[in-house]
Amino acid sequence: MYTNKKDELYAGFQTAYVDGTLASNMIYRPQFISNNYKEGKKVLSAIEDELRMCDQFQISVAFITMSGITPLLQTLKELERKGIPGEILTTNYLNFSEPRALKKLNELSNITLKMYDVERANEGFHTKGYIFKKEEIYRIIIGSSNITSAALTLNKEWNSKVISTAQGEMAQEIVKEFRQLWASPFTLDFDEFYKQYQQNYEIIKHQREIAKKEQVPSIEKYTLKPNRMQVQFIANLKKILERQEERALLISATGTGKTYASAFAMRELGFKRVLFLVHRGQLARQTKVSYENVFDKNITMGLVGAGNHDYESDYIFATIQTMNREEHLRKFSPEHFDCIILDEAHHTAANTYQKVMSYFKPRLWLGMTATPDKRDDNIEGRNIYEIFNHEIAYEIRLQQAMEEDMLCPFHYFGIQDISTIEDSDLKSKKIDAAAFNELTSEQRVKHIVEQAAYYGYSGSRVKGLIFCSRVDESIVLSNQFNHTINPETGKYFRTLALNGSASEEERQSAFERLAMEGGESTDVEPLDYIFSVEILNEGVDIVEVNQVIML
């Protein structure tokens, strides 16, 4: 068996270093490892693959952050379950590593974490090495990548993967160096370094925040400029108007800037009177704020609906439910608006939209959606592309938006639930008491809390959405969370259930409480989670959300 592996190693070396056309097993081939999204390459993927195959691992890196370890959490949990031992060595160099990330790693029972104290050693520490061993073979990745999100997925990073037997000189030298650092008198165990390091980190973090506040603030109105997608969209829209077309569709993945794209377009095209239609009141208010960041004060902006009657404004923001009503619709002549923008345009086949579209005759109807394709596209009058005369001003889907770094990076984990209720039962209007009790049991609540705490979130505190299968489930689970201790704070969770019966004011209040940091001087307490079923699945803009749980 050993001889066969040596043969595989020799073949791999031949391919890597002598003749790249020679066939060999990838497992035994030295490789160059870098990040290149166009080729689907990530340093993260190479490290994850090696973790899954190894019998033991050792890592020595200068910097560790939560964004770096989060995509590895599921793999690390599996290694803990299997009892695969790991040693991780980091440093207090520049106080850059995040205490929360170090604590998370140390909580895994199979991992031992140590810190090399550069201040006591009076020397720098900038290693980036990942050592994986399986039986008598070492696979070692050495190069420029720390355990941070940027280093493992985005940055220009150069790493080499070395393949060696345990008797190979290269492997022996690297492992020896790791062992020396691990046993150094300047290397501290977790319990020795953590408390002091955490205090230092918080002090330096506070100093950085003060420094930011002392900088001269930029005025968003003057620094805001369209991104590459928005520039091309505006150019294409001009061409559509030059052809005397009256309808256009912007297909843009959620989060890529549809609202700002439309604002820049209205400004560049010189439209004087614009109606922007949404399907939630809070979105009308948020959109108005975004437009105010783009336009000067010569353009008046107002709201119609929910007690607002700004009919005389140049730019009007309203819900489709409001504008659909005769008392609002008839306030304007059919030709009053130069452009009417329809947000979430995949709904435009609905009667409410069609009534408005039949009444008004603007120079341009601009539809915006992330999801134009629907299951009833084949039915006459329901196809969104047909409604907008197949005039696509611009299209950017999720994959392209991610590749072009236009979206906040996110991590998706598929976690086994402990409920055994069939989907068909969940979809029925009523379920029996036993099934409902299983959905809302203390055991399930404990499981959800444990998993949410382990996989974590980005930021100073959790601001989460929890999607349930039923309204009654969301209400009971929210109540149970409010009687459950948050392991991060030692206090009870603060949650509420928000569903279709909630008023516009209740929804807005809930969103504002979720977005709070927690240090504001107010009688209102921030929320940790909002439980919901059907009202948060589209057209909701809460940029502070940092964790989503789908039950």
Q: What are phi and psi of 23, to 5 degrees?
A: -80, 140
Q: Domain check: are 244 and 386 in the same one?
A: yes
Q: Which of 345, 371, 403 is the last residue of a domain?
A: 403
Length of the chain: 551
Any domain includes 121: yes
| 148/242 same-domain check | no
CA nearest neighbour of 331 among 353, 355, 352, 309: 309
Q: Which two tokens stand for residue 82?
A: 């299997």
Same domain for 319 and 252? Answer: yes
DSSP type of residue 55: S
**Same domain membership, residue 310 and residue 239:** yes
How many structural domains is the chain composed of?
A: 3
Are residues 192 and 53 part of one domain?
yes
Q: CATH number of the domain at 47, please.
A: 3.30.870.10
Q: Which residue has the tokens 């069939």?
A: 422
E-strand stretches of 147-265: 159-165, 187-189, 247-252
Angle formed by the axes of helices 504-515 and 281-294, nearest 10°: 60
Residue 233 lies in a domain: yes
Same domain, 508 and 428: yes
Dist CA 402 CA 465 (whole Å)? 22
Q: How far apart are CA 8 and CA 28, in angstroms?
A: 6
CA–CA separation, 513 and 521 (whole Å) = 13
In this structure, is residue 170 part of a structural domain? yes
The CATH number covering residue 377 comes to 3.40.50.300
Residue at which a domain ends, from 177, 208, 239: 208
Query: In terms of domains, do 438 and 338 share one?
Result: no
Cα–Cα dist 365/246, whole Å: 6
Q: Are residues 268 and 386 in the same domain?
A: yes
Q: Would 359 be classed as within a structural domain?
A: yes
Same domain, 279 and 396: yes
Q: What is the predicted pLDDT for the residue at 2?
A: 42
Q: Are residues 97 and 177 in the same domain?
A: yes
Residue 217 lies in a domain: no
Q: Is residue 25 part of a domain?
A: no
Collapsed DSSP state (helix, strand, coil) of residue 116: strand
Taking the alpha carbons at both ends of the chain, their separation in whole angstroms is: 47
CA 366/CA 269 separation, integer angstroms: 13
**Residue pointed to by tokens 């993945």:** 253
- Identify whether residues 508 and 475 lie together within a single domain: yes
Give a yes or no: residue 429 inside a domain.
yes
Is 19 part of any domain?
Answer: no
**504 lies in which domain range?**
423-550
Q: What pTM, to 2 d.p., does this model score?
A: 0.78
Apex 344 CA angle, 339 and 349, nearest 5: 85
> pLDDT by residue for the chain (551 residues), tens digit each?
345 888 999 999 999 999 999 999 999 999 999 999 888 899 999 999 999 999 999 999 999 999 999 999 999 999 999 999 999 999 999 899 999 999 999 999 999 999 999 999 999 999 999 999 999 999 999 999 999 999 999 999 999 999 999 999 999 999 999 999 999 999 999 999 999 999 989 888 877 776 666 544 444 544 577 877 888 999 999 999 999 999 999 999 888 889 999 999 999 999 999 999 998 887 899 899 999 998 988 899 999 988 899 999 999 999 999 999 999 999 999 999 999 999 999 999 999 999 999 999 999 999 999 989 877 777 777 899 999 999 999 999 888 888 777 888 788 999 988 877 777 666 666 788 888 888 899 999 999 999 999 999 988 899 999 999 899 999 999 999 999 999 989 999 999 999 988 988 898 899 989 999 876 667 889 999 999 997 887 767 788 999 999 99
pLDDT at 327: 93
* Residues 250, 392 share a domain: yes
DSSP 70: G
